[in-house]
Each structure stands twice: as C-alpha cells, then as structure tokens.
C-alpha cells in the first residue's frame, strides 16, 4: 500500500502550521518554540510536516515529478517525528508514517542521495552503517563477556554500529557492560558477529535493507534463546522495539533501552549508585527513545463513511505520549551529586540532535546546525553538561561543540552511572 | 516557469538565492496553485522592493503568514512572511507590543505573561500571527478587531511605506489614529469586507493586565496536558439555561457587572472538542454533555486580582446564573477538566480541535453585531443544520452556534459552522447550500450581511459599499497587483 494508505490522513492537513512549533500550550516565549529543524533551517513550507503532507498528496494525485529540490525536501529532514506530535495534539491523522513512506517511495523510484547510497553499500557488504574500523567486538576486549551466538543467555546487549566501530564510543559499550556485570545480569553480546539493527537504513528509506537486517537479528536472538534485548543506542531501541514490531518480526521479545534497564535495577535494589558525581546537567531526549520509541500499535480497519474521520475499529494514534521519558530522568536523579535542570523543549517535543534520518550522512552541515541550536538551549539552562542516551546524539553534539568552541560537556547516561558505581 | 529568467533574477537579487523558489515541487506544499514563485523577504525594505518589482512587471502578489486554507490565482507571487518573525518591542509602560507578521500569538502571549500582561487572541488560535485583526474568546476583557491595532507599518500595493497613527509623526507606536495619519478605515487586515491590499510589515498591538501566573503549570504529555493546580483566584464553569432568552439575560447581566475575564458562548460540542484527545472520545463526551445540559449555554472564566476580588466576582456570577435559572455543567467542575479549559481557552491552543479535527473541514458564517439579534438568526441557522446532521453529511453538534460579547457589552460576535469531510462531495455541496440559504436569510430578514459572501450580492443593499471600496483599492493599486485577499492571512 505504501504512501497510498495515508491518502486520507494527508488530506486532513488544514495547514495550521502547528507542526512547525512545539505544542501551543508549551510555547513559553519567542525563543525555543520551533520544533522542526527542517522548516527552521530551510524556511519554505515544503520542509514542514504539513508541507510534506501536501507534497505526498501531489505525488499520488498528480504524479509530481522528482526534481533536485524535491529530493532535497525529502532527505533534508531528520524524520524526528516532532511535527507529528505537535499536529496530533489536536488532529487525528498520521504524519510520521506518510513521511517515512515518501522516503521509501523515493528510494524505490531510484531517487536517492549518493552519500546515503554509499552508506547502504557499506551495510550490505559489512553489516554496518558506519565505516568498519577493526573488529566489531574489539570494544569488549578483556571484559570476558558471554558470546550470545554460542551460549544461551537471558539478555543480549546489542551494541550498535557507531558504538562498536568508533573508538571514541567504546567507552559507552564498556560502561554498559560493567553496569550489567555489577548488577549480576546473565547477558551476552554477539561481538564480531553482531550486525546492524537496520533502523537507520529504514529512516533513510531503504526498507528492504532494513528488513534483511531485522530478519538476521531476530534469527540470532532466537538462536541465543534471549528473552530480552538491551540497547544503548536510541536508533537500535526504536528498530527492535517499534520497527520490528511494525513489520511483525519482534514476537514477544522484550526490548529495553539501557536507561530503562538501569531504572529497573535501581528500583529492584540490584544496583546501587553510591559515588558522588558533582555535576549540573540537562538531559536531551533522543527522538527514537522518546517520541518515536512509543510502542507500535497494530491496527487494521476502515474509515466509517460519513461526517467524521473515524474508523472501525477505532484507531489509536501514536502521539508520542508513551515514549521513554521518565526512566533516564529517574536514573539521573539517583546519581548522588547530579543536579538536573530541564531545557525548554523536552520529552515529546524535544528538539532533535540533528543526526537522524540520514541527515548526518548526507547533509552534515544541517546536522551540525541542528545540534548547535540544542547546545545553545542546553547552555541556557546553566548546565555544565548535556546528557543523552544515544551515541549518535553524543557524536553530533561533540562536533557542534567543537566548532562553536563551547565549554559544554557531553555524556551518555551510562558514563555517569558507571562513575557513580 | 511563470516568471521569465530575467524577472526571476531580479527578485532573486532582492532576497538572495536561498529565499526564492519556483520549483514545481515546492508549490503544492503551499496550496494547489501554480504560483509564479515563493519568496521569503527578511525585512520591510525587501518587502518594498518585491512589491515595487511586482508593479514594474505586473506580477500579482499575496502576502501570507502562518497560512490557512486559501484560494490563490495562478501565477501569483506568494510572499511568505516567515522570516519577519521578530518582537520589536514590548512597551510595558504604554501597554503595547510591536511585532512582525510571523510572530505567532502563542509566542507573544507567553512573553507577555512573563511581564504580567496578555492580549486578545483571535479565535483562529495561538498558531496564527499575533498581528491578525479579529475576534476571540477573550474579547470581554481585551476587546477585538481594530480596537487592538495601534500604529501600523504598511507597504502599500505600489511599494510605498506608510506609517499610520503616532508612528506617522514620531517613532512612537502608541496610537493608531494620530498624531499622524489615521487610516483605520483602510488598514483592516484580512477581515472582509475592507480587506487591505499591500503588506503589513509591523503592527503595534494593545496589551492588557494579566492577573494569572507567568506560566501555566502544565503537566503530562501531549495530547493529555492538564494543570497541576488551578491558578489562584481563577475559576472556569459552563452554564446552561432553560432558554436562549434566559441565556441572554445572564450574558448581559454578567457584562453589566464586568466580572468575567472570559465569556465564550460555546455550545457543548465545542467544549467537548476542547477537552478530548480524539474524535471518538469527543463524540462520546458530547453525547453525554448534551444530556447533562438544560439548554443553550456559555463558558465562563473569572480571574480575580486578589482573593477578595475573586470572591466578589464568584458571588456575582453565581447570583446572575441563579437569577436566570442556569445550571453548572458538573463535568467542567472537575478540577482536571476545569484546568484544561482555563489554559486552553486563554491560550486558544485547541481551535484546530474545535474546527478541523472532526471532519477535516468546516464552513463558517461569522457576524459582528447586536448579540441578541444575531443569536436569534443563529438559532434558525442551527435548526437548518439538523437535516444535514440526520443525513450524516455534517458532524453532529446539536445544531449549535457560539459567540460572545465584546468589552462586556451587548455588541459581539456570533458564529455558526458546519464541520464536514471535504472529500465527501455531497457533504460539501450540502454545506455550501446551507451557507447560501442562511446568508440570504440573514440579509433578507435584515439581521446582517454575511461579508464572506460575494460583495456583489450584498453591496447593492448596503449603499453599494463594494463599488466605493473598489475605487479605493484601484487608487491604491493602479497596476492591480494586490488582489482583494488581504494584507495578512
């Protein structure tokens, strides 16, 4: 069905422009009221959620031809889901899904960006969304972790491409492993045999490649007999939790982000944080852990003919309200000495870090511009550090900070937890 | 491309390459119109240059802010005012704010709350430009329409810069009428019949005392926002009455006592739309509320400047309602619902729920006038909706209408609309017919003239105002480049 199935939703767009701003009740001034990086940067309405709905309609009704501009519009978007949240405060319509489908259609029609094609070629060859740099499991050297591809384990820790192959990110994987060890969790990793979750390929519109990766991962997990998968990457979390489920591949696998797992361990008394970490922080909600981490809702039905846009059976919309917002905050509040101050745009209406949707790969300037705005917002809270829960956010923030010459520090939540153990 | 390469280049030289686009992929994002191009000026000088160039090459233009559904002639140059998004000044002493067109109401209102002020918010909602002229839920205490426009900076259809009111003789924005040129009859923004040609690039807006918090204590995640506490000395209620006459008796008495911060003549369908998070829930809550009310009603917010002021206002409110045999809707007395409504109906953050969510489109007949007279007409227009509701062509709102007084008086706004599915052609046709018949009835029975209808229909009965207005606009726009659609949308 693809884009076609969202024809009715796209036609519902009333061009109110709410998709450009955080939900109206949350607007607390002129500053930090934008929610969509794409329209904020490129200005033309075509770059907004509403503009994309109208373009989607034109693609279906008028067979809109691909121009360079159309390709820019399609790919200069982090697919961060913020427009959908703001729209769905008031409207009953799908926004995020048609945007995903437009990308999938563009890829299927052969209109892609060379930088993204290159990444996907790497994925097909090496099973990674980032350039391969040594062995995938090298980060685990000396930790004596179980090999989930050979031993039965309760929990599999899926590390992810960036954390595995970027030596600067190895600290995140090692911290995660140490936390799990400290809590006595029976877990394993796939090490050199781990492969990409496919989530970022999906964001870029390469649905078939995503499905291949998803099937490989689920086969491995079934073989390992794992009931639970833990990720320390928000993209991985969304892939396993939401996208695998959407494509009916997840089964009854429990998917947890490490922040959820740590919050659970703290609650159950299996983990204690005793050391003081004297730091004023603010927390950045990664899009794919927050609003886009909301569980998938399986639904099939038809519009009831007549006046209202209602369905049989009733349709529930994923409005971003059920993302993972509290567990990371609970964890931060459990660390002695950490003082959390919130930014203006948080939780379901958080501003994106800039890295998603292939923007980091195909338009790094735009990614950096987006991160820059977040860094400025974080700095305005008086925090010494911005804490996130995804290596892609950390990478993009660090690049923006380096360029801006800011003194703000960036930490992943597992680093602070490790320091407090 | 509608523009030749040479002309395109001339426009590009004004705003720079990133801010002009004639790519066919961009047009449908705006509207289903083949525009000459989309252009995004960043300041008044660029707007002037664009308009002058339009005159030179006879290119029609339309300035647009956040936008709504609109109709545009092909080959129009679409001036997207998105980059004119600055708050120029908030003058607390003289109680006005100067803004550019793309400052939305939610932004300005939030800035005003921090300073102990607020403003009139148009019914179109917090997502629309703060500069828009019109009416809204807060008209009781913040007036409406041109009463809130002070000095205005206006780029005429020929590209000249006109500064009205006090701005015309000084650098001050405090007055729309002088010392300096008062152009109140011409500078009417987007509200028919006097739709100003040209472009408004800045306007001073009156601001008012705000007795509430610097920020509403919102909790929860979208779309389930609630208030963690009702702000001190605030209360919201919905009252229904046994008859329209009784409702009007209460409305006018409350106005005379000047105790309401907001009096919005919602029908319960609109209350239900405001407090619910999806269509199914809205329908369910509306049906329940319809059973719980005893007749037509209105929604009230009182806001005390002190505990004593609040107690006085509450006492008067209860007495007036009792005198008119009114009844409070229990549903709204629930602090959770009360909180949602206080925030929602002051920030006007759910207009989209009231209008577009249910069916995707709505058709409205709004009117300013003597409230008891226009209510009488609206009762008939509401009854005329019932057959359409029965046939399932429009959303069931019980045949409701709504409205409110301005400045606590008898003059005010009354409005009625039909919500429908725009893809259902039968529904669209039925709604158009309803609109036509009810507008004709309003005119023939001398209630009012629906200025949203073609002016040739109503003009002959109103001193041929449309001919005079046309002469004014022709004088202002000799090259006919600024179509009669407004300086602001």
Q: Which of B209, B293, B323, B304 is nearest to B259 (CA)?
A: B304
| Alpha carbon distance B23, A55 (integer Å) | 12
| Alpha carbon distance B397, B401 (integer Å) | 9
More confident residue, B419 or B469: B419
> Do B29 and A52 lie within an 8 Å CB cutoff?
yes
Residue of A nearest to B225 (CA): A25
- Burial label, B456 (beta-carbon count in 10 A; 0-12, 13-18, 19+): exposed
pLDDT at B67: 82
| Alpha carbon distance B475, A50 (integer Å) | 38
- Chain B CB within 8 Å of residue A34 CB: no
| Alpha carbon distance A3, B144 (integer Å) | 43
Which H or E run includes A338? strand A338-340
Contact map slice: A 49-78 vs B, CB within 8 A: 50-52, 54-55, 57-58, 62, 64-70, 73
| Alpha carbon distance A404, B23 (integer Å) | 34
pLDDT band at B193 (very low <50, low <70, confident <90, very high): low
Q: Specify the 3-state DSSP secondary structure of B137.
A: coil
What is the side-by-side order of every strand in the sheet holding B402-405?
Answer: B361-370, B411-420, B402-405
Residue A95 has which token pair?
């926004």
Nearest to B221 among A30, A310, A348 (CB): A348
pLDDT at A296: 98
Residue with tokens 């209630």: B447
pLDDT at A133: 87
> B-chain residues within 8 Å CB-CB of A21?
104, 106, 127
Q: Specify the 3-state DSSP secondary structure of B420.
A: strand
Per the prediction, chain B carries an average pLDDT of 93
Nearest to A30 among B32, B107, B223 (CB): B107
Q: Specify the 3-state DSSP secondary structure of B234.
A: strand
Under the phi-then-psi rule, with left for phi > 0, alpha for psi from -120 to 50, and beta for the rest, what region is B117? Answer: beta
Q: What percent of chain A has pLDDT over 70?
A: 100
The residue ranges of DSSP E strands in B70-164, in sequence order, are 77-80, 87-91, 96-99, 117-118, 149-155, 161-163
The two most distant CA atoms of chain A are separated, in Å, by 66
Q: Specify the 3-state DSSP secondary structure of B364.
A: strand
Q: Which of A7, A44, A349 has the highest number of chain B CBs within 10 A, making it the mutation to test binding with B?
A: A44
pLDDT band at B465 (very low <50, low <70, confident <90, very high): confident
- Chain A CB within 8 Å of residue B125 CB: yes
Q: Alpha helix (H) ranges present in B362-424?
A: 371-390
pLDDT at B469: 85
- Chain B CB within 8 Å of residue A308 CB: yes
Residue A122 has which token pair?
């790497």
Q: What percent of chain B has pLDDT over 70?
A: 97
Nearest to A64 among B28, B67, B218 (CB): B28
pLDDT band at B450 (very low <50, low <70, confident <90, very high): confident
Q: How far apart are the first and last CA of chain B?
A: 25
Q: How far apart are the first and last CA of chain A?
A: 50
Mean pLDDT of A163-174: 97
> Is-contact A114 A52, C-beta < 8 A?
no
Residue of B nearest to A56 (CA): B29
pLDDT band at B106 (very low <50, low <70, confident <90, very high): very high
> Do A15 and B68 lie within an 8 Å CB cutoff?
yes
DSSP 8-class letter at B198: S
pLDDT at B191: 52
Residues in a beta bridge with B361: B420
> A-chain residues within 8 Å CB-CB of B389?
307
> B-chain residues within 8 Å CB-CB of A16?
66, 68, 125, 127, 352, 356
pLDDT at A95: 98
- What's the number of CA atoms in the CB half-sphere (13 Å) around residue B326? 30
> A-chain residues within 8 Å CB-CB of B215?
28
- Other CB atoms closer than 10 Å to residue A340's CB: what's the count? 17
Nearest to A45 among B80, B225, B427 (CB): B80
| Alpha carbon distance A29, B106 (integer Å) | 8
pLDDT band at B1 (very low <50, low <70, confident <90, very high): low
The answer on pLDDT for A171 being more than 50 is: yes
Residue A4 has which token pair?
């076609």
User: DSSP secondary structure string, A224-293?
Assistant: HT-SEEEESSHHHHHIIIIIHHHTT--TT-EEEEHHHHHHHHHHTTS----S---EEEEE---TTTTGGG
- Distances in Å between the Cα of B62 and the Cα atoms of A150, B67, B197 are 68, 11, 9
- Other CB atoms closer than 10 Å to residue A337's CB: what's the count? 14
Q: Which of A24, A38, A315 has the highest number of chain B CBs within 10 A, making it the mutation to test binding with B?
A: A24
pLDDT band at B461 (very low <50, low <70, confident <90, very high): confident
pLDDT digits (tens, 9 = 90+) for A62-96: 889 999 999 999 999 999 999 999 999 999 999 99
pLDDT digits (tens, 9 = 90+) for B8-29: 999 999 999 999 999 999 999 9
Q: Which of B188, B177, B176 is nearest to B151 (CA)?
A: B176
CA distance A67 to chain B (A): 7
Residues in a beta bridge with B262: B301
pLDDT digits (tens, 9 = 90+) for A298-328: 999 999 988 889 999 999 999 999 999 999 9
> Do A309 and B216 lie within an 8 Å CB cutoff?
no
> Is-contact A111 A40, C-beta < 8 A?
no
Kindly provide the ipTM of the predicted complex, given to two decimals: 0.96
Residues in a beta bridge with A187: A155
- Burial label, A165 (beta-carbon count in 10 A; 0-12, 13-18, 19+): buried
pLDDT at B487: 45
pLDDT at B185: 81
The answer on pLDDT for B273 being more than 90 is: yes
> Is-contact A173 A230, C-beta < 8 A?
no
Distance from chain centroid for Cα B301: 19
Q: Specify the 3-state DSSP secondary structure of A122.
A: helix
| Alpha carbon distance B310, B318 (integer Å) | 12
- Burial label, A365 (beta-carbon count in 10 A; 0-12, 13-18, 19+): exposed
> Do A24 and B26 lie within an 8 Å CB cutoff?
no
Q: How many residues does chain A have?
A: 421
Long-range contacts of B249-254 (CB under 8 A, 24+ apart): B249/B323, B249/B324, B250/B298, B250/B320, B250/B321, B250/B323, B250/B324, B250/B326, B251/B298, B251/B371, B251/B405, B252/B371, B252/B372, B252/B405, B252/B410, B253/B320, B253/B323, B253/B324, B254/B300, B254/B316, B254/B317, B254/B320, B254/B408
The answer on pLDDT for B192 being more than 60 is: no
Nearest to A85 among B25, B222, B420 (CB): B222
pLDDT band at A57 (very low <50, low <70, confident <90, very high): very high
Residue with tokens 């290119």: B59
Mean pLDDT of A358-369: 98
> A-chain residues within 8 Å CB-CB of B126?
24, 27
More confident residue, B472 or B270: B270
The answer on pLDDT for B148 being more than 70 is: yes
Residue B215 has which token pair?
């920020």
């Amino acid at each position: 069905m693809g884009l076609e199935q969202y024809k009715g939703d796209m036609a519902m767009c009333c061009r109110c422009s709410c998709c450009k701003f955080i939900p109206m009740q949350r607007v607390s001034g002129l500053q930090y009221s934008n929610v969509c990086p794409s329209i904020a940067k490129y200005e033309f309405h075509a770059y907004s959620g509403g503009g994309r709905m109208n373009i989607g309609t034109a693609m279906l009704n008028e067979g809109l031809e691909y121009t360079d501009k159309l390709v820019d519009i399609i790919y200069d978007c982090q697919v961060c889901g913020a427009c959908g949240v703001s729209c769905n405060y008031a409207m009953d319509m799908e926004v995020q899904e048609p945007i995903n489908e437009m990308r999938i259609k563009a890829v299927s029609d052969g209109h892609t960006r060379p930088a993204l094609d290159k990444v996907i070629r790497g994925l097909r060859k090496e099973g990674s969304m980032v350039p391969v740099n040594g062995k995938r499991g090298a980060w685990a050297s000396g930790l004596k972790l179980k090999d989930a591809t050979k031993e039965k384990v309760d929990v599999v820790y899926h590390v992810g491409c960036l954390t595995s192959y970027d030596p600067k990110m190895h600290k995140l994987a090692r911290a995660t492993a140490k936390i799990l060890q400290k809590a006595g969790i029976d877990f394993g990793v796939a090490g050199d045999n781990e492969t990409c979750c496919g989530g970022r390929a999906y964001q870029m519109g390469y649905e078939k490649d995503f499905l291949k990766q998803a099937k490989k991962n689920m086969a491995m997990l079934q073989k390992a007999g794992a009931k639970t998968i833990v990720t320390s990457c928000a993209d991985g979390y969304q892939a396993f939790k939401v996208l695998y489920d959407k494509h009916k591949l997840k089964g009854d696998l429990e998917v947890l982000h490490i922040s959820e797992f740590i919050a659970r361990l703290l609650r159950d008394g299996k983990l204690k944080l005793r050391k003081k970490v004297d730091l004023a922080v603010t927390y950045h909600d990664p899009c794919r852990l927050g609003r886009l981490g909301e569980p998938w809702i399986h639904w099939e039905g038809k519009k009831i003919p007549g006046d209202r846009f209602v369905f049989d059976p009733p349709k529930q919309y994923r409005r971003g309200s059920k993302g993972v917002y509290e567990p990371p905050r609970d964890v931060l509040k459990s660390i002695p000495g950490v003082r959390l101050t919130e930014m203006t745009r948080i939780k379901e209406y958080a501003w994106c870090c800039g890295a998603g949707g292939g923007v980091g790969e195909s338009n790094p300037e735009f990614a950096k511009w987006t991160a820059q705005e977040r860094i400025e917002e974080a700095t305005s809270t008086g925090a010494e550090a911005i804490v996130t829960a995804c290596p892609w956010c950390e990478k993009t923030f660090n690049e923006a900070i380096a360029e801006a010459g800011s003194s703000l520090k960036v930490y992943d939540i597992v680093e602070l937890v490790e320091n407090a153990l | 491309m509608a523009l030749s390469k040479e002309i395109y280049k001339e426009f590009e030289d004004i705003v720079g390459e990133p801010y002009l686009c004639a790519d066919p992929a961009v047009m449908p994002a705006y509207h289903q119109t083949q525009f000459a191009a989309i252009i995004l000026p960043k300041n008044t000088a660029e707007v002037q240059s664009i308009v002058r160039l339009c005159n030179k090459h006879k290119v029609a233009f339309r300035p647009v802010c956040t936008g709504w559904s609109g109709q545009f002639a092909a080959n129009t140059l679409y001036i997207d005012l998105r980059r004119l998004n600055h708050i120029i000044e908030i003058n607390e002493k003289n109680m006005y704010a100067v803004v550019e067109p793309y400052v939305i109401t939610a932004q300005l209102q939030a800035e005003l709350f921090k300073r102990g002020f607020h403003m009139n918010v148009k019914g179109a909602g917090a997502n629309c430009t703060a500069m828009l002229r019109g009416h809204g839920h807060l008209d009781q205490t913040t007036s409406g329409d041109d009463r809130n426009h002070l000095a205005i900076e206006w780029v005429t259809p020929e590209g000249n810069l006109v500064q009205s009111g006090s701005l015309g003789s000084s650098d001050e924005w405090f007055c729309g009428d002088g010392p300096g040129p008062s152009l109140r009859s011409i500078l009417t923004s987007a509200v028919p019949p006097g739709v100003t040609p040209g472009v408004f690039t800045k306007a001073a807006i009156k601001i008012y005392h705000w007795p509430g918090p610097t920020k509403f204590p919102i909790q929860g995640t979208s779309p389930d926002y609630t208030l963690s506490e009702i702000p001190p000395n605030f209360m919201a209620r919905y009252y229904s009455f046994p008859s329209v006459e009784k409702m009007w008796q209460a409305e006018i008495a409350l106005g005379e006592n000047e105790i309401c911060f907001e009096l919005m003549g919602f029908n319960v369908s609109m209350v239900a739309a405001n407090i619910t998070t999806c269509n199914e829930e809205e329908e369910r809550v509306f049906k329940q509320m319809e059973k719980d009310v005893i007749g037509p009603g209105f929604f009230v917010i009182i806001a005390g400047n002190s505990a004593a002021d609040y107690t006085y206002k509450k006492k008067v409110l209860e007495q007036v309602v009792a005198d008119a045999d009114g009844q409070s809707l229990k549903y709204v007395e629930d602090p959770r619902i009360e909180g949602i409504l206080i925030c929602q109906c002051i920030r006007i953050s759910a207009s989209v729920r009231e209008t577009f969510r249910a069916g995707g489109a709505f058709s409205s007949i709004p009117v300013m006038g003597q409230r008891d007279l226009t209510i009488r007409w609206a009762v008939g227009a509401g009854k005329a909706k019932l057959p359409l509701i029965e046939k399932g062509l429009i959303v069931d709102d019980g045949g409701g209408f709504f409205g409110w007084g301005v400045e606590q008086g008898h003059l005010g706004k009354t409005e009625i609309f039909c919500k429908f599915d725009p893809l259902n052609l039968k529904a669209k046709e039925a709604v158009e017919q309803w609109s036509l018949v009810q507008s004709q009835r309003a005119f023939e029975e001398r209630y009012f003239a629906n200025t949203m209808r073609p002016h040739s229909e109503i003009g002959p009965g109103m001193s041929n105002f449309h001919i005079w207005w046309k002469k004014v606009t022709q004088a202002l726009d000799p090259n006919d480049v600024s179509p009669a659609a407004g300086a602001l949308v």
